[in-house]
């Protein structure tokens, strides 16, 4: 039997971005419905695996810094409202050769925005951060305004607060169709039709499939597999100056990998590969265990981790002192990559009545708090004061982005 629901705004997908959007809308008194195909905080999208890095001196581009600052403020608001600790300030260490993206990119962002970062040469790194086995020509950049965001608790907190503020939440229900329309966009959840003034689409890896035309944006959105591994800590760090920082390390061949302080009282620590070397990226055939380019059908989910993944991550873990070579456990996750690896946030002319946020290219979680504010602004008022111009989904149009 067909059912019809009416509301002001529907949020499709309650992962990192959608959960925060729903909370912001409900908190501001907007009548809103959130729809999630699984249970919030699940492990089948892009937001599971215990921890995400947040850092301010943004190596992906100095132009992100104002948005990260907005995210820090919005995380504080969420923590305050939820009365929960969702962000741990551990500091961050960017490691590599002086001209590597990790070191050079974060240094440039720090310089441009006057951020407090400390440059450390190999000898200083050995003294202060002995976990890392460094080559003599490598350096580090330490930043205090960085740390760990807890993804599953953050999503659960935002959904709980949204409910408490009056949002309706449909879980274990998939949106099967969205009909864009400037005045009356519609969302179908099986036989249930939801009519709204605005629809916010935050469906992560499913987004290119759910929104016609989106998959081809800028030459193609790709969903890729990545694997995280938890390695046993065999010896504690020899320094005692507070928690170990999160880190990202740029290898001489261009592999960019990262890791976290132990989240289980010093038993294990987690590492992952963000980008493989240029050689692997351009190889005709994927190398065993390579964490790059393996396409994923989100309905089937990423291929489970295997021995090749363990060997690939284990080879990187050899760069950490006091860490065993075999992962105790691994999980697979999905990156939704845009061609320029910058996000998609905003309106798209071909999708009237819709606001979208996706293509977070493996570095979006830290911004989820600010994305929630921006999407709620866009849904409610049609515009936002937050600096999201660089994420305009129209940026690949031949006549350039639609808005400044
Ligand atoms: C291994 C890994 C490590 C990462 N590390 C970092 C990091 O250190 N720092 C960082 O900032 N970022 C990191 N990221 C990136 C970050 O986690 C993602 O950018 C972010 O989680 C994406 O959020 P999202 O809301 O777009 O997707 P998701 O959180 O996956 O949310 C999408 C939601 O939509 C739901 N959905 C989909 N289709 C439908 C439908 N039809 N109907 C209803 N619901 C639907 C899904 O079930 C899902 O819950 C990492 C990502 C991965 C995979």
Distance 43 CA to ligand 1 centre (A): 10
Mean pLDDT within 345-358: 96
**Which atom of ligand 1 has the smallest separation from the CA of 227?**
1
Residue closest by Cα to atom 37 of ligand 1 = 203
Give a yes or no: residue 59 inside a domain.
no
CATH code of residue 118: 3.30.9.10
pLDDT exceeds 60 at position 80: yes
Distance 235 CA to ligand 1 centre (A): 33
* Nearest to 288, CA basis, from 304, 270, 306: 306
Query: In three state form, how does the secondary structure of the chain look?
Result: CCEEEECCEEEECCCHHHHHHHHHHHHCCCCEEEEECCCCCCCCCCCCCCCEEEECCCCCCHHHHHHHHHHHHHHHHHHHHHCCCCEEECCEEEEECCCCHHHHHHHHHHHHHCCCEEEEEHHHHHHHCCCECCCCCCEEEEECCEEEECHHHHHHHHHHHHHHCCCEEEECCCCCEEECCCCCCEEEECCEEEECCEEEECCHHHHHHHCCCHHHHHHCCEEEEEEEEEEEECCCCCCCCCCCCEEEEECCCCCEEEECCCCCCCCEEEEEEEECCHHHHHCCCCCCCCCCCCECCCCCCCCCCCHHHHHHHHHHHCCECCECCCCCEEEEEEEEECCCCCCEEECCCCCCCEEEEECCCCCCHHHHHHHHHHHHHHHHHCCCCCCCHHHCCCCCCCCCCCCC
Distance 204 CA to ligand 1 centre (A): 5
Q: Which residue has the tokens 């979680």?
A: 365
Are 160 and 194 members of one domain?
A: yes
Alpha-carbon distance of 203 to 46, in angstroms, equals 10
Are 203 and 253 members of one domain?
A: no
Give a yes or no: residue 82 inside a domain.
no
Choose which residue among 10, 12, 16, 74 to substitute to test ligand 1 binding: the one with the highest number of ligand atoms within 8 A of its C-beta: 16
Give a yes or no: residue 196 inside a domain.
yes
Choose which residue among 52, 172, 177, 344 to substitute to test ligand 1 binding: the one with the highest number of ligand atoms within 8 A of its C-beta: 52
* Nearest to 112, CA basis, from 146, 71, 68: 68
Give a yes or no: residue 54 inside a domain.
no
Give a yes or no: residue 71 inside a domain.
no
Alpha-carbon distance of 363 to 60, in angstroms, equals 9
**Which atom of ligand 1 has the smallest separation from the CA of 44?**
47
pLDDT exceeds 80 at position 332: yes
Mean pLDDT within 40-56: 98
Average pLDDT, the chain: 94
Residue 165: other Cβ atoms inside 10 A? 18
Give a yes or no: residue 56 inside a domain.
no
Mean pLDDT within 133-162: 97
**Which atom of ligand 1 has the smallest separation from the CA of 19?**
25
pLDDT (tens digit per residue) in 94-115: 999 999 999 999 999 999 999 9
Q: How many domains does the chain have?
A: 2
Are 229 and 306 members of one domain?
A: yes
Distance 335 CA to ligand 1 centre (A): 8
Query: What pLDDT score does 404 carry?
Result: 45
**Which atom of ligand 1 has the smallest separation from the CA of 45?**
30
Sort strands 32-36 and 9-12 into parallel, antiparallel or unpaired: parallel
**Which atom of ligand 1 has the smallest separation from the CA of 363?**
12
Distance 118 CA to ligand 1 centre (A): 32
Are 253 and 312 members of one domain?
A: yes
Are 275 and 373 members of one domain?
A: no
Task: Report the DSSP beta bridge partners of residue 334.
Answer: 225
Are 11 and 24 members of one domain?
A: yes
Residue closest by Cα to atom 16 of ligand 1 = 365
**Which atom of ligand 1 has the smallest separation from the CA of 46?**
30
Alpha-carbon distance of 173 to 158, in angstroms, equals 19
Distance 211 CA to ligand 1 centre (A): 17
Alpha-carbon distance of 192 to 172, in angstroms, equals 14
**Domain ranges, residue 321:** 89-148+222-337
Query: What pLDDT score does 212 carry?
Result: 81
pLDDT exceeds 70 at position 32: yes
Give a yes or no: residue 64 inside a domain.
no
Are 108 and 158 members of one domain?
A: no
pLDDT exceeds 70 at position 281: yes
Residue closest by Cα to atom 26 of ligand 1 = 204
* Contact (Cβ atoms closer than 8 angstroms) between residue 120 and residue 92: no
Are 109 and 211 members of one domain?
A: no
pLDDT (tens digit per residue) in 182-225: 999 999 999 999 999 999 999 999 999 999 888 888 889 999 99
Q: Which residues line ligand 1 (CB under 6 A)?
A: 12-18, 35-38, 45-47, 49, 52-53, 174-175, 202-204, 206, 210, 226, 228, 272, 333-335, 358, 360, 362-366
pLDDT (tens digit per residue) in 232-257: 999 876 554 567 999 999 999 999 99
Distance 206 CA to ligand 1 centre (A): 10
Are 233 and 115 members of one domain?
A: yes
- Which residues 6+ apart lie within 8 Å of 401 measured at CB? 389, 392, 394, 395
Q: Across the beta sheet with 146-149, what order do the strands follow?
A: 52-55, 146-149, 87-89
Q: Across the beta sheet with 117-121, what order do the strands follow?
A: 117-121, 139-143, 92-96, 246-250, 256-259, 268-275, 222-232, 329-337
Burial of 294 (0-12, 13-18, 19+ CB in 10 A): middle
Query: What pLDDT score does 56 carry?
Result: 98
Are 125 and 234 members of one domain?
A: yes
Give a yes or no: residue 396 inside a domain.
no
Which of 295, 314, 337 lies at the terminal end of a domain, its last residue? 337
* Contact (Cβ atoms closer than 8 angstroms) between residue 358 and residue 374: no
Distance 322 CA to ligand 1 centre (A): 31
Alpha-carbon distance of 253 to 140, in angstroms, equals 17
CATH code of residue 34: 3.50.50.60
Mean pLDDT within 283-291: 77
**99 is written with which tokens?**
């001209």
Distance 164 CA to ligand 1 centre (A): 23
Distance 158 CA to ligand 1 centre (A): 15
Are 233 and 142 members of one domain?
A: yes
Are 124 and 255 members of one domain?
A: yes
């Amino acid at each position: 039997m067909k059912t019809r629901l009416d509301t002001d705004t529907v949020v499709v997908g309650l992962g990192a971005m959608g959960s925060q959007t729903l909370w912001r809308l409900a908190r501001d008194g907007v009548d809103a419905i959130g729809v999630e195909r699984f249970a919030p905080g699940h492990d089948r999208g892009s937001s599971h695996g215990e921890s995400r890095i947040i850092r301010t001196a943004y190596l992906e581009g100095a132009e992100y810094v104002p948005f990260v600052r907005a995210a820090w403020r919005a995380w504080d608001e969420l923590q305050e409202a939820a009365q929960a600790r969702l962000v741990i300030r551990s500091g961050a260490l960017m490691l590599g050769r002086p001209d590597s993206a990790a070191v050079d990119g974060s240094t440039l962002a720090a310089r441009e925005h006057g951020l407090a970062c400390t440059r450390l040469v190999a000898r200083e790194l050995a003294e202060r951060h002995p976990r890392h086995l460094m080559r003599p020509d490598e350096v580090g950049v330490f930043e205090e305004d960085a740390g760990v965001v807890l993804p599953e608790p953050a999503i659960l907190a935002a959904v709980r607060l949204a409910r408490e503020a009056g949002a309706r939440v449909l879980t274990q229900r998939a949106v099967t169709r969205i009909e864009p329309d400037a005045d009356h966009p519609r969302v179908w959840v099986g036989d249930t039709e939801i009519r709204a003034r605005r629809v916010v689409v935050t469906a992560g890896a499913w987004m290119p499939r759910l929104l016609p035309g989106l998959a081809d944006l800028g030459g193609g959105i790709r969903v890729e597999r990545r694997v995280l591994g938890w390695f046993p800590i065999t010896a504690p760090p020899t320094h005692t100056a507070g928690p170990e920082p999160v880190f990202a390390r740029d290898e001489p061949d261009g592999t960019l990998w990262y890791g976290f302080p132990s989240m289980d009282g010093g038993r294990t620590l987690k590492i992952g590969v963000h980008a493989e070397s240029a050689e692997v990226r351009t190889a005709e055939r994927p190398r065993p265990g390579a964490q790059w380019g393996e396409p994923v059908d989100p309905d089937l989910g990423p291929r489970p981790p295997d021995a090749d993944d363990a060997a690939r991550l284990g080879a990187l873990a050899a760069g950490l002192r006091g860490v065993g070579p075999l992962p105790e456990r691994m999980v697979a996750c999905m990156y939704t990559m845009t061609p320029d690896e910058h996000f998609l946030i905003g309106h798209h002319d071909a999708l009237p009545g819709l606001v979208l946020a996706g293509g977070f290219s493996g570095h979006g979680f830290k911004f989820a708090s600010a994305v929630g504010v921006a999407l709620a602004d866009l849904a409610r008022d049609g515009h936002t004061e937050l600096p999201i111009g660089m994420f305009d989904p129209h940026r690949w149009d031949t006549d350039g982005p639609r808005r400044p």
